[in-house]
Structure 1
Amino acid sequence: MFVIGVFLLSGCDHASTKLTVKTAPAVVDNPVKESQLTTITLTSQAEKRLGLKTTTTQNQSIGRTLTQHGEIVAVPGLTVSVTAPVTGKLHGSKLVSGRRVSKGQTVFTLMALPNDTSGLGADEEVAVRQKQLAVVQAKVDRFTELNKDKTTSDRLLQEAQAELKNAQAALEASQARQHFLTDKLTAADKPHLSVIDIEAPLSGVIQTVSATPSQLVSGGAPLFNVTSLGTVWVRVPVYAGDLSSVSGVQTARIQPLGENIDAGVRMAKAVAAPPTANPQAISTDLFFAMSNTDSAFQVGQKVSVTLSRGGSQSGLTIPASAVVYDIEGGTWVYELTQPHTYTRRRVL
């Protein structure tokens, strides 16, 4: 009985033992190999819709160039500051920076402040002129009565009447000055005020504005600056290590940023300018003059500048339109490896 019980216990223990199988946390169906991540396959219809065209690479010899960023700057001497010729009040429409003006165009009108010959304030001068007018008027009345009685000459009466006219004109001028300072001008004040047209000295763009309409300005106060942009300079900072290879260049290829390789290209000529440099960037500035009669470029605008470095080098060439730029500035091309299959390759 004991032996049988032992076998029974041993058999039950063996049956209770089970094998555990581990289950994967995730299953990826049809995994893509890393080498296939840069390969795409298009249908014929997709190629037509995208307008894809292929070409073969060619081994050619091309000139060596250096592409730098540049900045549009105004030509020194073509920025004019306009000031008020006399003390007065400005009139006209509001002037803003960036507005284009033509040579001789009226920008402001300046109503000159009437001269203060008495040294008094506006109100005090009016009061004095009124008293003077009253005195002269009484004098004219007295001479008129005396002239009727033939007790005074006509010449004395005429002199008194002329003095009356002068006193009346002086009073009107002082009143015009008073109204001018208090913004209460009337039609009767206009003959006693001189209006000066402030014109643009040259055709260009308003750069800075220092005064506004209805503002009282003193003689010599700056009103605005105008800059001619018919011709502009391009400032090109060149790294000191590249300066020797482009120091003799006479022309530069200028293009707005973000344009296609041949879009908006203009040629600029080298000009002699005061030497400037940036020690922090270890660069020296080169300057080129460029026509800008259509105002396509603005002062401060950044542009792409291509300079010739002389000599040439040979290598595989492709159309510029075939180059694709990624978000980090890397350059790539797509190679047709099989019909309708394209593989991305980095351009070094």
Structure 2
Amino acid sequence: MAPAKIAAVVSEESLNRITLTSDAVKRLAIETAKIETRSLPRFRPYGAECTLPGGALLIVPAPVAGTVRTPAGRGAFPQPGAWVAINEPLFELLPLLSPERAVLTPAERVQMAQTRNTIAQSRIDADGLVRQAEVQVDAAKIALARAERLEKDKVGTVRAVDDAQAQLSLAQKGLEAAQARKTLLDEASLEGAEAGSLAPLAITAPMAGQIRTTHVGPGEVVSAGNPLFEILNDKVLWLKVPVYAGDLPTLDTSAPIAVTDLAARYSADHLIAKPIQSPPTATPLASAVDLYYEVANPEGALRPGQRLTAQLPVKGATDQATVPWSAVIIDIYGGQWIYERLDEHHFVRRRVEVAWVKDGLAILTRGPAPGTTVVTAGAAEISGAEFGFAK
């Protein structure tokens, strides 16, 4: 006896055959095109990981010892996940003794003595950095004047002038940073603490972004240098793409890449990532080298650590079967289909696999043969008629 009995074997083609009347074809305004073979660049999928660029994550420490509290005018204590603007007040730090705290505990007195020493040493260091930066600026001005004089006398080069100008700009930036540090330390002076005249020190967001975590709570006493919170800006992310070292010579690493989800499902608006210069990294055990790309993330759709599929271009072109992307229908299970037009009134649904989408064309790795006539406008309406949800 047979292990199974089937009343009638139905092929996929007969199951998916649709017949439309002349009026229905006219009302749906169906348009068609043929599957064509085109010479197109090739792509190869690789796994990718979203990472934060350098400087996108900052840890903000306490400049002096004190007590943390919520700033006046802020409704609640900053919580992880909150979005903040640049220079937005997040915390207030009461440096040990303030009008709100007129009596010091023995432990706080020790902290005050340590803080005085720390601030005094920091002031000396900051003053030395300012003087050093001023000397560097003066030296850079002299070097620039010399380079300009030599270039004017036809002895030097324009490149030497540009290099001298760049060195002067760097020295000036260093001087500005040193002066800003010295100003901050001067404002954090503990003079008058014994009289209870210290004002709260505002701790603001150093950049616009999202609070990743907070290390303190309201009323907590912290020492100088202890981390207060972490802030990140993920509007731009890096993609780290490990590539087998043997594949590297065959890839065009200077071209932008398409980025899809882990299932490599393409859409007409898939993300584009651009190659960037980055320190060389590799994984010896996997015989892989890392390529880095930059992708815009203005809506926060991508997250650091998220896994994606990167479609890296392969050198050289090859013949590929293509169909307009508007002809492809995707079902609820992610299956990809097109409707082949057999004649004026008969259509049949065919399964396809889209490798990637470029300039409105879907490149097929599986599907009907080139020359097949498919529906490019009205495919969704035919699908509605087939499955019974059309009007």
Give the TM-score normalised by structure 1. Answer: 0.59
Q: Where does residue 279 of structure 2 map in the other structure?
A: 274
From 62, 68, 86, the equivalent of 1:90 is 68
User: Which amino acid is the alignment partner of residue 61 of structure 2?
Assistant: T
Once residues 302 and 51 of structure 1 are traced to their aligned partners in structure 2, the CA distance between those partners, rounded to angstroms, is 41
SS of aligned partner of 1:244: helix
**1:121 and 2:106 correspond:** yes
Q: Where does residue 179 of structure 1 map in the other structure?
A: none
Q: Where does residue 306 of structure 1 map in the other structure?
A: 311
Superposed CA deviations along residues 87-122 of structure 1, whole A, max 9, x for unmatched, are 222112332333222221111111221299x99738
SS of aligned partner of 1:300: coil
- Aligned residue pair count: 260
From 66, 72, 82, the equivalent of 2:50 is 72
- Cα drift, residue 315 of structure 1: 3.0
From 31, 39, 61, the equivalent of 1:61 is 39
Describe the shift of the 1:328–1:293 C-alpha distance in structure 2 as closer, same or farther (beyond 3 A): closer
CA contact (8 A) 1:38 1:343 kept: no
Once residues 237 and 83 of structure 2 are traced to their aligned partners in structure 1, the CA distance between those partners, rounded to angstroms, is 15
**1:261 and 2:261 correspond:** no
Once residues 56 and 6 of structure 2 are traced to their aligned partners in structure 1, the CA distance between those partners, rounded to angstroms, is 70
CA contact (8 A) 1:100 1:205 kept: yes
CA contact (8 A) 1:249 1:308 kept: no
Q: Where does residue 199 of structure 1 map in the other structure?
A: 204
Once residues 108 and 226 of structure 2 are traced to their aligned partners in structure 1, the CA distance between those partners, rounded to angstroms, is 26
User: Which amino acid is the alignment partner of residue 206 of structure 2?
Assistant: P
Larger Rg: 1
- Cα drift, residue 221 of structure 1: 0.8
**1:42 and 2:48 correspond:** no
Once residues 51 and 301 of structure 1 are traced to their aligned partners in structure 2, the CA distance between those partners, rounded to angstroms, is 43
Once residues 123 and 309 of structure 1 are traced to their aligned partners in structure 2, the CA distance between those partners, rounded to angstroms, is 65
Once residues 247 and 39 of structure 2 are traced to their aligned partners in structure 1, the CA distance between those partners, rounded to angstroms, is 21
Once residues 95 and 222 of structure 2 are traced to their aligned partners in structure 1, the CA distance between those partners, rounded to angstroms, is 10
- Cα drift, residue 198 of structure 1: 0.7
- Is 278-287 or 73-82 further displaced after alignment? 278-287
- Cα drift, residue 57 of structure 1: 0.6
Q: Where does the alignment leave 5 or more consecutive residues of structure 1 unmatched?
A: 1-21, 125-172, 177-190
Q: Where does residue 223 of structure 1 map in the other structure?
A: 228
- Is 220-229 or 41-50 further displaced after alignment? 41-50
Q: Where does residue 103 of structure 1 map in the other structure?
A: 86
Give the TM-score normalised by structure 2. Answer: 0.54
Q: Where does residue 18 of structure 1 map in the other structure?
A: none
Q: Where does residue 5 of structure 1 map in the other structure?
A: none
User: Which amino acid is the alignment partner of residue 15 of structure 2?
Assistant: T
- Is 242-251 or 50-59 further displaced after alignment? 50-59
Once residues 50 and 341 of structure 2 are traced to their aligned partners in structure 1, the CA distance between those partners, rounded to angstroms, is 42
Q: Where does residue 324 of structure 2 map in the other structure?
A: 319
Once residues 88 and 265 of structure 1 are traced to their aligned partners in structure 2, the CA distance between those partners, rounded to angstroms, is 46
**1:236 and 2:219 correspond:** no
CA contact (8 A) 1:236 1:305 kept: yes
Once residues 27 and 229 of structure 1 are traced to their aligned partners in structure 2, the CA distance between those partners, rounded to angstroms, is 58
Q: Where does residue 283 of structure 1 map in the other structure?
A: 288
Once residues 120 and 69 of structure 1 are traced to their aligned partners in structure 2, the CA distance between those partners, rounded to angstroms, is 57
Q: Where does the alignment leave 5 or more consecutive residues of structure 2 unmatched?
A: 71-75, 110-192, 354-365, 367-391
- Cα drift, residue 335 of structure 1: 3.4
Once residues 43 and 275 of structure 2 are traced to their aligned partners in structure 1, the CA distance between those partners, rounded to angstroms, is 16
Q: Where does 1:123-272 land on structure 2 (aligned, <5 Å)?
A: 192-246=197-251, 248-254=253-259, 261-266=267-272, 268-272=273-277
Once residues 240 and 329 of structure 1 are traced to their aligned partners in structure 2, the CA distance between those partners, rounded to angstroms, is 33
- Cα drift, residue 55 of structure 1: 2.9
- Cα drift, residue 220 of structure 1: 1.2
Q: Where does residue 179 of structure 2 map in the other structure?
A: none
Describe the shift of the 1:345–1:263 C-alpha distance in structure 2 as closer, same or farther (beyond 3 A): closer
Once residues 15 and 64 of structure 2 are traced to their aligned partners in structure 1, the CA distance between those partners, rounded to angstroms, is 75
Describe the shift of the 1:217–1:62 C-alpha distance in structure 2 as closer, same or farther (beyond 3 A): same
User: Which amino acid is the alignment partner of residue 49 of structure 2?
Assistant: E
SS of aligned partner of 1:42: strand
SS of aligned partner of 2:247: helix
- Cα drift, residue 82 of structure 1: 0.4
